[in-house]
Amino acid sequence: MTSSGGPPTVETIAAAAGVSIASVSRVLNGHGARPDTVRKVERAAAELGYVPNKVARSLKGGRTRQLTFAMPDIGNPAYVSMVRQIQAVTKPLGYRLLLHSTDAVSEDELDVVRSLADRTSDGLIICPIRVTEEHLAALTTASGPVVVIGSLPEGARVDSVRADSVSGAALAVRHLVALGRRRIGFVNGPADTVPGANRATGFRTALAAAGLTADEAPTVTTDFSVEAGTAAGHRLLDAGPGIDSVFCANDQLALGVAHAAHDRGLRIPEDLAVVGMDDSELARAGHPALTSVDLGSGERGRLAAQMLVARLEGGAPGAGPRGSAEAGRVTVAPRLVVRASTVGSDAAALGGDAVPGEAATGAASAGARPQDAPAACAGSAV
């Protein structure tokens, strides 16, 4: 604090250090000066309580070293896995990660994209579960680089990392069919979302391939929560007597269905086999542990972070400085992780598509393309 009571300025620091204002400016902005000048300026700045204005400096230099990750639900374990891997990539490079929960509200998602114009963040990773024409317009005209974790229409000029949840749902159904289950119910999230639509497509396609039909329309919940899964589980079991298994669009719904089954005195998996999706920490913590389709949440976060950094730093194949290359598109392949909620203790019941639960940890990247550098990837999976 200066003698007048105001915050220190370059002028007051220059006077205290006995050097020119230009010398103070060079030192404070890291542009170099004679060693004795640097020592005088740093000592005077410390004595006066000078605190650098990082926001002002970032506006002048054009970089904040901050990135934003916007997700629908900050409490969903799948997004927590993404956060960990995004930070593992970006933190060592000197970036801070800002987290924002959109609650899957489209206008909130659009506001986050548009806020790049404020220059408070250098880039954005976002997970929209609904993609409208307005989303595409905002994404393609964003003021900074954006990477979408999720499915985008073919030809969208936006970098993206997506899961193949259509194939993932098919893995779950094939597993249940291989176990002899024939009355398979489905608990989905909102059908008007990208994940809800894709998982319904995979479920119905796999049923048809197995020569089965859905006896009842899939139960559509209002969200992807455990509470919604419990209510949906009761509705499904009421509507479809004799259902011997249930595939759920995420692990939270699957745990809710398991709660409903326990409420009714049903045994898992003897009376009702249950499969989830995401292979989150909830799947491993359930009792019995939950068979789940691993969509590589952490791997998608890692690849998205690499792609965003490549846009910011330049030099990576397929993802150079913004506007210099085609949009990158990476697909992470799913895999089925089998646990007690479908096979009990019968390890021999593992199907050809499955891996045992004990091998799940650390293997979420299996099937991802590419492994080392973000680049466009062939394939029609969404």
Which of 223-227, 288-292, 299-303 has the lowest average pLDDT?
223-227
Domain containing 217 equals 165-295+334-359
CA distance 263 to 269: 15
Q: In this structure, are 151 and 252 located in the same domain?
A: no
Structure confidence at residue 354 as a pLDDT band (50, 70, 90): low
Q: In this structure, are 258 and 155 located in the same domain?
A: no
Given this model, what pLDDT does residue 54 score?
54
Q: In this structure, are 271 and 227 located in the same domain?
A: yes
Is residue 82 a contact partner of residue 29, using CB atoms and an 8 Å limit?
no
Give ∠ CA 123-53-311 in degrees, rounded to 5: 15
- Contacts for 79 with CB less than 8 Å, ≥ 6 apart: 71, 72, 73, 127, 297
- Contacts for 149 with CB less than 8 Å, ≥ 6 apart: 82, 125, 126, 127, 160, 161, 162, 300, 301, 304
| Domain annotation covers residue 35 | yes
Q: In this structure, are 279 and 186 located in the same domain?
A: yes
pLDDT at 58 over 80: no
Structure confidence at residue 7 as a pLDDT band (50, 70, 90): confident
- Omega of the bond leading into 288 within 30 degrees of 0 (cis): yes
- Summarize the chain as % helix, strand, coil (round to 5): 45, 15, 40
Q: What is the pLDDT of residues 167-225, one digit of tens each?
A: 999 999 999 999 999 999 999 999 889 999 999 999 999 999 999 876 555 677 878 89
Distance of CA 49 to the CA centre of its chain: 41
Given this model, what pLDDT does residue 360 score?
32
Q: In this structure, are 177 and 199 located in the same domain?
A: yes
Given this model, what pLDDT does residue 63 score?
77
Given this model, what pLDDT does residue 356 score?
57
| Domain annotation covers residue 368 | no
| Domain annotation covers residue 284 | yes
One DSSP character per residue, 88-116 reads HHHGGGT-EEEEEE-TT-HHHHHHHHHGG
| Domain annotation covers residue 379 | no
Q: In this structure, are 312 and 245 located in the same domain?
A: no
| Domain annotation covers residue 80 | yes
Q: In this structure, are 124 and 158 located in the same domain?
A: yes
Is residue 256 a contact partner of residue 230, using CB atoms and an 8 Å limit?
yes
Q: What is the mean pLDDT of residues 334-358?
A: 71
Of 279, 310, 328, which marks where a domain is finished? 328
Q: In this structure, are 171 and 249 located in the same domain?
A: yes
| Domain annotation covers residue 366 | no
Q: In this structure, are 177 and 109 located in the same domain?
A: no
Q: What is the mean pLDDT of residues 244-248?
A: 95
Read off the DSSP letter of residue 290. Answer: P
Which of 22-31, 53-62, 298-307, 327-336 has the lowest average pLDDT?
53-62
Given this model, what pLDDT does residue 165 score?
94
Given this model, what pLDDT does residue 214 score?
67
Structure confidence at residue 120 as a pLDDT band (50, 70, 90): confident
What does pLDDT average to over the chain? 83
Given this model, what pLDDT does residue 267 score?
96
**Tally of structural domains, the chain:** 3
Q: In this structure, are 151 and 173 located in the same domain?
A: no
CA distance 200 to 218: 8
- Contacts for 88 with CB less than 8 Å, ≥ 6 apart: 302, 305
pLDDT at 324 over 70: no
Q: 250-263 burial string, b = 16+ CB within 10 Å, else e? A: bbbbbbbbbbbbee
| Domain annotation covers residue 138 | yes
**What are residue 293's DSSP bridge partners?**
277, 336
| Domain annotation covers residue 179 | yes
Read off the DSSP letter of residue 317. Answer: T
Q: In this structure, are 136 and 230 located in the same domain?
A: no
CA–CA distance from 110 to each of 137, 162, 183, 260, 320 (Å)? Answer: 10, 20, 41, 37, 25
CA distance 177 to 214: 13
Domain containing 79 — which CATH number?
3.40.50.2300
Site of tokens 């959109």: 102
Q: In this structure, are 156 and 214 located in the same domain?
A: no
